Structure 1
Amino acid sequence: MRPLLISCLALAVAAGCAKKTETKEEADQAASTLDSIEVTGSRIGDQTAAGAPATARAEAEAAASAMARDRHVRAAAKAQRAQETLAYAPPPAPPPAPVAHYAMPQPVMAPPEANTENYEAFDDNGIVRSAENAVSTFSIDVDTGSYSNVRRMLAQGQLPPKDAVRVEEMINYFDYGYAGPADRSQPFAVSTELAPAPWDRKRLLMHVGIQGYAVPVSQIPASNLVLLIDTSGSMSDPNKLPLLKEAFRQMVPQLRAQDRVSIVVYAGSAGLVLPPTPGDRHGEILDALGRLEAGGSTNGGEGIELAYAMAKQGFIDGGVNRVVLATDGDFNVGIYDPRALETRVEQARESGIALTTLGFGQGNYNDAMAEKLADVGNGNHAYIDNLMEARKVLVEEMSSTLLTIASDVKIQVEFNPAQVAEYRLIGYENRALAREDFNNDQVDAGEIGAGHDVTAIYELCLVGMGCESSDPLRYSAPKVAPATAQELAFLKLRYKLPGNDRSVLMERPVTRRDVKPEASENLRFAAAVAAYADLLRGGQNMDGFSWDQIETLARGARGNDPWGYRSEFLQLLAQARSLSAARDPAVAISTE
């Protein structure tokens, strides 16, 4: 019992001493601790009953009584402090001062990427007086990229920049059903038509059509194709590399065992994805296409070098040897100088390897470079804006895309000043040649693919029709021999057969007897396309011909339209008219 008694006394003494020295907070803590100790006295009672001495029992009872009193005192003190705390609690904090109202800050949006699309600037061909310059010379052009690129912009609700619209490419997008050559001894046939211009019946349109002979895909010579594909980071958009891969997938089933296909990519550095592979291994080719992903910068120069190396490795004598460059045109590292690239493409052309360019995407599309490289490379340029266009270029027109039947094709027209006061070539501004270039076989010109047709249109003002735009010169009265008095013009063409260095000359007169009182369906539609392109470029050449008038003209000339291209043109025309009216209300008034 004594050890228990001593412990209780020590606890009481310790509690008493602690009260003298502890802080208020420590006292509170101690009180709380002691209050939690239960002292029942049961064991003590048991030991007293067992015969503990009376003195010890008295001491124990006194100690227990002292501890109880001390506990009650501390509990009372704790209650008192609690009351004091409530009585002297600090007042609640005042409400915050009102804040002046202001506009919530808007989230910071990344600025849209700058549009760096690049188009070669040019001015429309002007009106020329025959007495001062009777000869017009230019290279033919079979490109159609401008039409589908403009279609892409209209579909996105925007009018194209002026220089994106090349009239000849808009016109040549369509097939006009010209008669072809009687046999393959001559690669193409030439037809002409003259009729009043729909925007000014005092003037005539002279329509020149060239139709190449058609070659079935099965009869195309063995092809050595190198697909040079841009896989740089800029090609990640859905209308770039993903569309490109789907486009080439449509072409793969057309490839044959005798064909060879390679795939080269470039993005920071060039890489060989597929070495020269027989064309009938469709699964291998499709697998290689499926592995392509976009990423990195664009090193077009290195890619072209590797592509030409593959083309040389798989070269087919007497076959089609061609690099097909598919890109958004964003050449920004490597051989980035345009002239250096053109020189490299020229060198390959001289060794028998042609270059075709396919444009994709928007925002950084380099149309000027893509078109120029195709021109220099004896190829053609197309813009792929959807899968239907991919099928048109790579499936339906595969023969004309791949197989060239005539190269360096040039046109020269000499107008008779006694009959033709003025003339204007519609389009072909960047295909103009000097007069002496026509007979120079060293001067490069355009190519015609198998089954391809090419259209050129002149606008004429005949003498005495009262449509001259300027006065004749006083001292330039023409003298014309009687034998040619009825000739309006003399048309000449030069071309080279594939593999030949010397050109062949074709020529024919155009007389008044060729003039018709009304234009044919094809000429009316071609005129509507020309007028549409002119309005997109600002409408300076068609004497106020309106959108409504163009629609009426085109709608009446749709004719046989199995693929729906002419019907689609009417939709694009309506879109262009709507966008023009939104930009310039005066347009809407003028077309009502």
Structure 2
Amino acid sequence: MVVTGSRITRGTPGAYVPPQPDTERYPSATPNPVKRTADEPVSTLSADVDTASYANVRRFIDEGRAPPRDAVRVEEMINYFDYGYARPLSSREPFAVTTAVVAAPWSDGRQIVHVGLQGYELPASERRPLNLTFLVDVSGSMASADKLELAKRSMNLVIDRLRPEDTVAVTYYAEGAGTTLAPTPGSQKLKMRCAVESLIARGGTAGARGMTNAYEQAEANLARNRVNRILMFTDGDFNVGVTDDKRLEDYVAEKRGTGIYLSVYGFGRGTYQDARMQAISQAGNGVAGYVGDLNDARRLFGPQFDKGAFPIADDVKIQVEFNPARVAEWRLIGYETRLLNEEDFANDAVDAGEVGSGASVTALYEITPVGGPTQMGERRYLENRIGRGGGDPSGEIGFVQVRYKQPGQARSELIQQVIANRAAGRVSAQPPESTRWALAVAAFGQKLRGDPWMSADYGWDRIIDQAQGARGDDPYGDRAAFVQMVRAVETLPGRREP
């Protein structure tokens, strides 16, 4: 007999027993509304390179359950994939901007504006030494193979990649907090592995004390010529000590000013606290990832680890202004928890996302061209503003701007680019492969979440067809696995919300 919380389930000792799903918590996010361009032509958002939602959604589907709506963050689903964007040539201007305008596959008469940012990939000679601190949750809730044991394997994958000039410290927290390894050079990998292996899960969860201890270790080896980063491994279940998100978020944001960033990696099921981990990682200028199995660990902590470890830009903000002479309405797909005010774009005091070496960011907008099937009724007394959009009304749909700071700098720099297509006639009948794939993933995320803007007759079969036609070169099988995940959704029972 296996005891899990207040439930008793028959089975063999050590066997996995599915926990109660309603203990998991996700950020509440209402799908973005449609905006009338004449009233609100500008969209501003913080760049997001997190992929936690994709891996977590796949975990639910693999277990035969529909994920909670708020667990589905469409932008993280889209940004899970590489789109092969054109690459920037220098770290001095670390982003290349790619745009496309195509027909919306799920809504006749509407179009999709695809905006892609590709980050500069630092050569080995430009990668600063790493000052890493592992912050490991060893509370009783982590005592399962898909939590602490998987976290240990993840840490060992990071250790595999360390150079002699890199350092790692290993800290932990349960009822209290401690350090099993002070900052140690990357040449002493056996010592690091022994420190990781010594971690055992038991007791409560003093997450706040563990965090302050981790920062103390990171500060002991702090240097401006290093990348100073804490990697937190947890299920997010802080049940002892300070657990108020705002207080932890404020503390992490304050420490961000010292040059130490915090990334959070979630593990396990049942007690997974996604909302808390999202808040903390965003305050820490880090990434948030979910590790459901060893494949996820290899993806996050193998070669792609560099995309989170070595920053190329801080406080990356994207702003798109639509031309009301060409665009009647628009809506941003996803990014509900990453929206900024228009005035935040040029305010260097406002925090935004960090982007690492070689990472890309994708944003999709659904627009209704002027004269198309608008979703908001005409206003009786609205002044006719058509033609006042600025730019060339025969070709300019919008204008994209990107603000970013070079790592460690206080003042931002600016990249600007026009979004254009011809004024008359159909948009491209065969969009770029990258756009077609992004549309398939966006359709899947929106339909899975039950967004009201999706056409009711746009079924799973059409999403599969869209994806199958855009798989292209798929060396690691990520796109093939996505198609299989969509097929699996067709057989799932109805959603049970927490």
Please give the secondary structure, in 1, of the residue aligned with 2:488.
helix
* Pairing 1:290-305 to 2, within 5 Å after superposition: 290-305=197-212
Aligned mates of 1:362, 1:217 — CA distance in 2: 37
Q: 2:452 is matched with which residue? A: 540
In structure 1, which of residues 543, 558, 566 is the aligned counterpart of residue 479 of structure 2?
A: 566
Query: Does 166-175 or 129-138 show the bigger shift?
Result: 129-138
In structure 1, which of residues 424, 440, 444 is the aligned counterpart of residue 331 of structure 2?
A: 424
Structure 2 portions without partners, runs of 5+: 1-5, 10-17
Q: Deviations over 1:524-562 (max 9, x none)?
A: 111111111111111422212100000010011100111
The answer to whether structure 1 residue 512 and structure 2 residue 421 are counterparts is: yes
Matched-pair identity in %: 44
Q: 1:326 is matched with which residue? A: 233
Q: 2:402 is matched with which residue? A: 493
Residue pair 2:331, 2:365 contacting (<8 A) in 1 also: yes
Please give the secondary structure, in 2, of the residue aligned with 1:430.
coil
In structure 2, which of residues 372, 382, 388 is the aligned counterpart of residue 480 of structure 1?
A: 388
Is the alpha carbon distance of 1:517 and 1:201 closer, same or farther for their aligned partners in structure 2, counting shifts above 3 Å? Answer: farther
Partner AA of 2:8 in structure 1:
A
Q: 2:320 is matched with which residue? A: 413
Residue pair 1:215, 1:399 contacting (<8 A) in 2 also: no
Q: Deviations over 1:127-173 (max 9, x none)?
A: 11111211111111111000000111111111100000000000000
More helix by share: 1
Partner AA of 1:510 in structure 2:
I
Larger radius of gyration: 1
Please give the secondary structure, in 1, of the residue aligned with 2:371.
coil
Aligned mates of 2:402, 2:137 — CA distance in 1: 37
Residue pair 1:233, 1:294 contacting (<8 A) in 2 also: yes
Query: Does 510-519 or 563-572 show the bigger shift?
Result: 510-519
In structure 2, which of residues 117, 121, 131 is the aligned counterpart of residue 210 of structure 1?
A: 117
TM-score (norm 2): 0.92
Q: 2:467 is matched with which residue? A: 554
How far has the Cα of 1:473 moved from its partner?
A: 2.3
Aligned mates of 2:225, 2:124 — CA distance in 1: 16
Please give the secondary structure, in 2, of the residue aligned with 1:357.
strand
Q: 1:176 is matched with which residue? A: 83
How far has the Cα of 1:205 moved from its partner?
A: 0.7
Structure 1 portions without partners, runs of 5+: 1-107, 585-592
How far has the Cα of 1:109 moved from its partner?
A: 6.4
Is the alpha carbon distance of 1:351 and 1:483 closer, same or farther for their aligned partners in structure 2, counting shifts above 3 Å? Answer: closer
Partner AA of 1:497 in structure 2:
Q
Aligned mates of 1:555, 1:280 — CA distance in 2: 45
Residue pair 1:131, 1:476 contacting (<8 A) in 2 also: no
Q: Deviations over 1:443-474 (max 9, x none)?
A: 00111110001100001110112x11122323
How far has the Cα of 1:374 moved from its partner?
A: 0.7
Q: 1:447 is matched with which residue? A: 354
Aligned mates of 1:482, 1:263 — CA distance in 2: 56
Superposed CA RMSD in Å reads 1.7
How far has the Cα of 1:492 moved from its partner?
A: 1.3
Q: Deviations over 1:279-332 (max 9, x none)?
A: 121111111111111000000011001100000001122110000010000111
Partner AA of 1:484 in structure 2:
D
With CA pairs under 8 Å and 6+ residues apart, which has the higher RCO, 1 or 2? 2
Please give the secondary structure, in 2, of the residue aligned with 1:429.
coil
Aligned mates of 1:192, 1:199 — CA distance in 2: 20
Please give the secondary structure, in 2, of the residue aligned with 1:525.
helix
Is the alpha carbon distance of 1:427 and 1:482 closer, same or farther for their aligned partners in structure 2, counting shifts above 3 Å? Answer: closer
In structure 1, which of residues 503, 521, 535 is the aligned counterpart of residue 412 of structure 2?
A: 503
How far has the Cα of 1:261 moved from its partner?
A: 0.4
In structure 1, which of residues 380, 389, 395 is the aligned counterpart of residue 287 of structure 2?
A: 380
* Pairing 1:27-66 to 2, within 5 Å after superposition: none
Q: 1:242 is matched with which residue? A: 149
Residue pair 2:74, 2:446 contacting (<8 A) in 1 also: yes
Q: 2:442 is matched with which residue? A: 530
Please give the secondary structure, in 2, of the residue aligned with 1:508.
strand
Partner AA of 1:551 in structure 2:
I
Partner AA of 2:490 in structure 1:
R
More strand by share: 2
Q: Deviations over 1:503-535 (max 9, x none)?
A: 111112212239533321111111111111111
Residue pair 1:149, 1:385 contacting (<8 A) in 2 also: yes
Q: 1:583 is matched with which residue? A: 494
How far has the Cα of 1:481 moved from its partner?
A: 6.8
